[in-house]
């Protein structure tokens, strides 16, 4: 008989997934069978495989020790390695379930094939490990939203499975409001909405608006179909050849803001990938996720980074975000 107490970070994880993480070599079908046969109990009672565990729940599994040892081989490999990983992050808000971080431009949100250690989420893991709050191999805190490498601003991290699930639900149901600040080329005098379908070119790491001459119309069997995307914008202040705007992201497609604003003739300052011109040494988009409002009423903000403020002055724009 194996007994485990569910930790706060594991709260919200479904029963079958919890056991799967404990015993990665055990067939999933056998896990379902164990649950159905009452060989798995939570606080002494039988539960469905979809039951969401809560912190403090006592999980009991009737399985031979030898079988459990064989099924658990590899679980130790899931432990996070922190050697050489920095733990410095700009914490905007933190409680037992939620962590809100202000990501700097130039830092990946998640590891990719070229970078495994120097990312925001690995720094978050190192930060929580240093605080003694990353005590489980069953769940690793993860971000609910992702920002491009050169986009700065707010990233939401679920410290528990339950909070991560809640954040993802709010995003999917569009109950979470996200606002960005950016500088675009040209003069924008009125607020507006760009409602144009987008399609991804993964090889070129680009997003395109669906339309004549662009993919995504489904005109051939091999052609991908575009996804709906809506972006709202409003001008805040005009400068010398540029306009500072606030953007509300209604949907959350990759490179959506950059693509949509290029499509209406106002590419982001410095965004050479999407039609923008370099601005001095700035050859990437100046885009900052400055405010997020959650469905539960909480709102978080992040100040503009120094480079952004410097460029504003050079553009003749005197502006500061509200506290």
User: Could you give the CA distance from residue 263 to residue 246 in angstroms, rounded to a whole number?
Assistant: 17
Taking CA atoms, 181 is separated from 55, 120, 222, in Å, by 38, 21, 37
DSSP letter (8 states) at residue 308: H
d(CA 218, CA 201): 14
Residues 6+ apart with CB under 8 A from 179: 246, 247, 248, 249, 289, 290, 291, 292
Catalytic site residue 112? no
Q: What separation in angstroms does the CA of 239 have from each of 107, 247, 318?
A: 29, 17, 9
Pairwise CA distance, residues 322 & 304, whole Å: 11
- Interhelix angle 28-36/15-22, nearest 10 degrees: 130
Given 36, 148, 177, 318, which residue is catalytic? 148
Q: Whole-angstrom Cα distance, residue 219 to residue 225?
A: 9
**Looking at the annotation, which residues are catalytic?**
148
């Amino acid at each position: 008989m194996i007994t485990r107490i569910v930790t706060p970070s594991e709260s919200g994880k479904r029963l079958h997934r919890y056991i799967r993480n404990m015993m990665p070599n055990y067939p999933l079908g056998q896990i379902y069978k164990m649950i159905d046969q009452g060989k798995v109990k939570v606080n002494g009672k039988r539960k469905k495989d979809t039951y969401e565990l809560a912190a403090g729940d006592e999980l009991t599994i009737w399985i031979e020790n030898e079988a459990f040892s064989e099924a658990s081989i590899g679980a130790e490999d899931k432990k996070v390695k922190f050697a050489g990983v920095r733990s410095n992050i700009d914490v905007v808000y933190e409680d037992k379930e939620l962590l809100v971080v202000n990501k700097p431009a130039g830092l990946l949100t998640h590891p990719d094939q070229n970078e495994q250690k120097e990312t925001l989420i690995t720094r978050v893991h190192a930060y929580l490990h240093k605080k003694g709050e990353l005590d489980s191999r069953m769940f690793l805190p993860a971000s609910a939203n992702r920002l491009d490498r050169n986009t700065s601003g707010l990233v939401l991290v679920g410290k528990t499975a339950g909070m991560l699930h809640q954040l993802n639900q709010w995003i999917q149901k569009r109950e979470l409001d996200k606002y960005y600040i950016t500088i675009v080329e040209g003069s924008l005098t009125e607020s507006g909405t760009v409602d144009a379908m987008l399609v991804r070119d993964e090889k070129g790491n680009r997003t395109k608006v669906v339309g004549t001459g662009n993919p995504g119309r489904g005109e051939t069997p091999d052609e991908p179909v575009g996804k709906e995307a809506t972006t709202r914008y409003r001008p805040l202040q005009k400068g010398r050849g540029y306009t500072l705007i606030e953007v509300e992201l209604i949907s959350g497609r990759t490179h959506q803001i950059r693509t949509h604003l290029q499509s209406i003739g106002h590419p982001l300052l410095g965004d050479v990938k999407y039609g923008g011109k370099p601005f001095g040494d700035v050859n990437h988009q100046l885009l900052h996720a400055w405010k997020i409002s959650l469905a539960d009423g909480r709102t978080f903000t992040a100040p503009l980074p120094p480079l952004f403020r410097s460029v504003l002055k050079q553009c003749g724009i005197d502006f500061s975000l509200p506290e």
